[in-house]
Structure 1
């Protein structure tokens, strides 16, 4: 045990103050800062010209034009309608060219079945209208068209109700002991909890990024020691098992230091005034955060880390050149990517069969079970069963990785085949 702590201390001292570690941490912290402040940074550049001015040419539909202006004023979007009375085509084109307006709308007569129909609306401009703004204009015109069609058959109150959004809610049904379905009291709560989503999303990213960074650090350090022949000196003073587990624990501590630094950067950015205003708009309630979600998430993270870390250490031990390392760890990278993507792409379907099945597969348990806990449904025994399976997997792969590591650190030259590794492993007992 003493040798393990010696390796931990040595690995931390050699890695913590290296330029590569400090630069990586600083760059990632800068990226976190930029991402969290990106909306504010963008607003600094387009704050003055945020609104788009669109001309509205007067026509034989004054009522529709007036309603269109009022609708856009109430909508408070990025479009400002500028009325043009008795405008000529030359005058409109001149204003577009000089940038006074980006384009103009024209209402033209349309007929349907011999009767006058809602006018055809055409947008004239040098550039295509933004897709989002085009959708806003279409939405407003759709409402006005509905009002125009039913104006003689509905009262003012009925027309007002027609413009109001539809009230839609969800309630869960739960089977009782007798097998009858009844409304679940918990179903009255909103199906989507923003607080749980934020925590789950953050833990998913935390798991993937830390596995990628620390796992590759473990594998690269072992390979570098082998390629420089330092391993031959280390092996005489510290056992291979103490080296492997010491490096894994050291990189875990190093990863935690990085995570704490990123959390501190994130908290500082969240406390900035412009981000505080944005958070108020999200309507997040800290009191609704489930502490068990964080506790369960950290348990899954720790066990998942050690499972992947042992694999990275064992693969790094059988590679003699750093040039071959990327290709060697590719299968493990694919596993972690699959776990991450299953979690990310199943956010909207946390109770799907894919998520339920993969929550009991050790390599995917940290993300799939986390998703079920945070956003889906699960039984307490399902969580603890997945933890038992994950723990057993850590022990099994840890034992296997220890045998591979003990054998691989002294195998030089070309990367050995699995048959050669297996043959060499039989000579050692753990």
Structure 2
């Protein structure tokens, strides 16, 4: 047990102080800061755009569209300043080119009396102005059409008013629509957490072992600590490293979200929108449980595979099949968000390499029988135990294997070495 603690502390400290971990954590925290403040960033750009109103020269044969068009545009807080001119189309284009106007709108009517318009500017990268002009002209056309049909504004509003349509369930155990939306959000977040955790930290475990093998440190460790202590010391050490990083991310998100909620006048922060109601404690408990079990399963597999290679360059090759399993599980779970009751999702939720994502998906979205949940967890625990037992034997022989790696052949060689 003492050797286990030493290996755990050594693994955690070395990785925690590594440049790669510090840089990746800093980049991740910066990204989360941007993400949680996205609404304020957009608002900042909008305020900047509002400070530079676009002056648009209106060119039309008559003067009947200026008043209704300007009335529509005034609803957008003067971001578009419409100017009536006596210029023809060519003169308006020259005025835009010289910078006298920001843009020009040429409006006329066809033989049927329908509105036709062409928008000119020196750049089409700003889409707000032409879209608002188009919407305003469309509204004018609809108003003219309703007047010709003799329809009042009240009648037209009644026609376009949405119907009342609600969804409900006859089951007492089924989740409500708001609970489903909340559960779907939590499941969606956890799927990404498990996905990236396995890919990043599983690769880190395999790389850690391959690095020690390449430096021949492993030969000393084998004689001073049991294979199980070595393997799980690294698994738990890297796991604590992952929790440290996630803890920092969660802290930054919480503080940034709370700061945004204080500055927003009656608005909701990102976390408040995600967790707008009381979160079921059982769902949080299952999220932690399946995350830990999923990590242990894939981390044990990564440590086993990492012990078979003696060069860091071979790590990606040997853990490629494991990464493929994670990717397949992730895409199945993404499909399951829209069809959690499908037979395919039900069957795959009992496959140990898929169940950390897919069974949690079903738990979050559905009311499943207790026996299904217990069976899935039991299969996961049995798989972790079996993989740990076999993996420890492979690890014991694998850490002494050097040379070119060949996956299945090396597994057999590692097992044979443990019998010597």
Q: Where on the TM-score scale, by shorter chain, does this alignment land: which range?
A: 0.7 to 0.9
Aligned twin of 1:157:
154
Question: What is the DSSP-based 3-state SS (H/G/I as helix, E as strand, rest coil) of the residue aligned with 1:70?
Answer: helix
Counterpart-to-counterpart distance in 2, 1:131 and 1:352 = 43
1:405 aligns with 2:402: no
Alpha-carbon separation, structure 1, partners of 2:276 and 2:209: 43
CA contact (8 A) 2:59 2:89 kept: no
Cα distance between partner residues in 2 of 1:408 and 1:99? 73
How has the CA–CA distance of structure 1 residues 202 and 249 changed in structure 2, closer, same or farther, with 3 Å as cutoff?
same
**1-side partners of 2:202 and 2:88: how far apart?**
69
Q: Which residue matches 2:245?
A: 258
1:272 partner SS: helix
- Contact 1:231–1:409 under 8 Å retained in 2: yes
Q: In structure 2, list runs of 5 or more residues that go unmatched.
A: none
| Residue number in structure 2 paired with 1:16 | 16
**What residue in structure 2 maps to residue 59 of structure 1?**
60
* C-alpha contact (below 8 Å) 1:110/1:120 kept by paired residues: yes
Q: Distance in 2 between matches of 1:259 and 1:235?
A: 32
**CA displacement at 1:319 relative to structure 2:** 0.5
Is the contact between residue 105 and residue 124 of structure 1 (CA under 8 Å) also seen in structure 2? Answer: yes
Deviation of 1:339 after TM superposition, in Å, equals 2.7
Task: Measure how far apart 1:120 and its partner are.
Answer: 1.7
Q: Please list the CA deviations of residues 394-421 of structure 1 after superposition, one character each: whole Å capped at 9, or x if unmatched.
A: 2232233222212211111111441342
| Alignment counterpart, residue 232 of structure 1, candidates 211, 216, 219 | 219
Q: Partner of 1:179 in structure 2? A: none
1:146 equivalent in alignment to 2:142: yes
User: Where does the alignment leave 5 or more consecutive residues of structure 1 unmatched?
Assistant: 176-183
Aligned to 2:268: 280
Relative to structure 2, which stretch is displaced further, 152-161 or 78-87? 78-87
Partner SS for 1:362? coil
Structure 2: distance between partners of 1:63 and 1:109: 11
For residue 207 of structure 2, the aligned residue among 213, 220, 225 is 220
Secondary structure of 1:96's partner? helix
When the two structures are superposed, what TM-score results if normalisation uses the length of structure 1? 0.82
Matched-pair contact (CA < 8 Å) for 1:54–1:105: no
Contact 1:55 1:103 in 2 (8 A): yes
Q: Which has the higher mean CA deviation after the structures are superposed, 291-300 or 134-143?
A: 134-143
What is the CA distance between 1:252 and its match in structure 2? 1.1
1:310 aligns with 2:300: yes
Q: Secondary structure at the match of 1:311?
A: helix
Which of 224-233 and 130-139 deviates more?
130-139
Q: How far apart are residue 295 of structure 1 and its match?
A: 1.3
Q: Tell me the residue number matched to 2:70.
A: 69
Question: Does the 8 Å CA contact 1:404/1:425 hold for their aligned counterparts?
Answer: yes
Asked whether the equivalents of residues 290 and 356 of structure 2 are also in contact (C-alpha less than 8 Å), the reply is yes
* Residue in 1 that maps onto 2:88: 88
Give 3-state SS (helix, strand or coil) of 2:49's partner.
Answer: coil
